[in-house]
Amino acid sequence: MVEEMKSSVESHILVILPHPDDEAFGISGTLAKHVQNGTQVTYACLTLGEMGRNMGVPPFANRVTLPEIRKKELEESCRAIGIQDLRMLGFHDKTIEFEDQDLLDGHINALLKELNPSVIITFYPGYSVHPDHDATGAAVIRTVGRMPKAERPPVHCIAFANNIEEIGKPKVLNDVRDFLKQKMASIQAHKSQFQAAELLGSKPLEDKEIQDRFGTEHFWIYPFE
Amino acid sequence: MQLINQSEIQERIDLLKDQDLYIHLEMTTGAYAAHFDSTKHPAATFITNAVIRYSHGSISGNGPYRVGLKMLQGWVYSEGLTHYEESETERLILAGHDSQGKLVVSLQLSREPF
């Protein structure tokens, strides 16, 4: 059964992703929609994406300046979406899978205790391509899995690996066509990472091709045992 | 970042020789290489803030450039360098970007840790 995320019932969404820009394509429309409905959103971003390969075209960043540039891009993206609470956890890009799991899980557990979110959004472990994505999702699932069953918030997962048919169809489809302005502003905020002009061309947000491509966001609900 | 000016880089390499330096050396295909094209072999490696000292170093090629640094026991080698950071006068910041602007290789030297 496919369901729309119940816009009105979410009190607090906790987003846990490893890189600035992980929010832009997959979930920014969903978040903007909830923010407009009065939902509180906390975005815990584990790293500053300091090992990213994209430095702008032509390159305006380098390995030394990239972390600070991406931090500012992330803040701009959050403003565009309307995210009220951004936490940068200070881990190093590309190292999440090697981190001390107790340290990672401890950070996530502290957020759960503090915020008591009604839903969590993260990557589906094993189906999210980048090792940092998979390791972040795995840490969230481990930590939530330790909570008593009745207290666990649902975990909505992003997945985009080539083998996602293994986990079936996404269970949550969000129509975000009315929030493409915020979504495009989020994408455009990450200037070092995306060439937004190439993505959009000269097409308006009402264009059918743009709406088909960006207008729906989908999530898998993690099946805890 | 600016396109490499070979003689300027050579001067900077000479200024940094015979002293302890922190190095960042990296090469990457990007984490998505095999996701977009299964025939590609994703690989990446980096080392940050290891301490090295070289007695002789040079830049060669016609662009992209190669840099070799001769240490007491061994070498640092990097190929495919295209850009440098002109505004960094104390540190040497070199990188190689592909035709899409993506970073493929980087070599950085500094007297202070990165």
The ranges assigned to domains in chain B are 2-110
Chain B nearest CA to A51, separation (Å): 10
Determine which of A143-152, A156-165, A171-180, A194-203 has the lowest per-residue pLDDT on average.
A194-203
- What integer pLDDT is reported at residue B37 of this predicted model? 86
| Averaged pLDDT, A86-111 | 96
Chain A residues bordering chain B (beta-carbon distance below 8 Å): 51-64, 94, 129-132, 161-162
Residues B47-93: pLDDT tens digits?
A: 999 999 999 999 999 999 999 999 999 889 999 999 999 999 899 99
Cβ contacts of A10 within 8 Å, gap of 6 or more = A34, A37, A39, A118, A119
pTM: 0.89
Letter for the amino acid at B83? H
CATH superfamily entry for domain B2-110 = Hypothetical protein YojF (2.70.180.10)
Residues A65-91: pLDDT tens digits?
A: 999 999 999 999 999 999 999 999 999
Q: Is the pLDDT of residue A7 over 50?
A: no
- What integer pLDDT is reported at residue A2 of this predicted model? 59
CB-CB neighbors (< 8 A) of B102 in chain A: 53-55
Q: Which of A19, A22, A53, A129 to mutate to test the interface with B (most CBs of B within 10 A)?
A: A53
Chain A nearest CA to B95, separation (Å): 8
Burial of B82 (0-12, 13-18, 19+ CB in 10 A): buried
CB-CB neighbors (< 8 A) of A59 in chain B: 1, 83, 95, 97, 101, 103
CB-nearest partner of A53 from B1, B93, B103: B103
ipTM score for this prediction:
0.76
C-beta of residue A2 within 8 angstroms of C-beta of residue A171: yes
- What integer pLDDT is reported at residue A50 of this predicted model? 95
Q: Is the pLDDT of residue A8 over 70?
A: no
Q: Is the pLDDT of residue B33 over 50?
A: yes
Chain B nearest CA to A141, separation (Å): 23
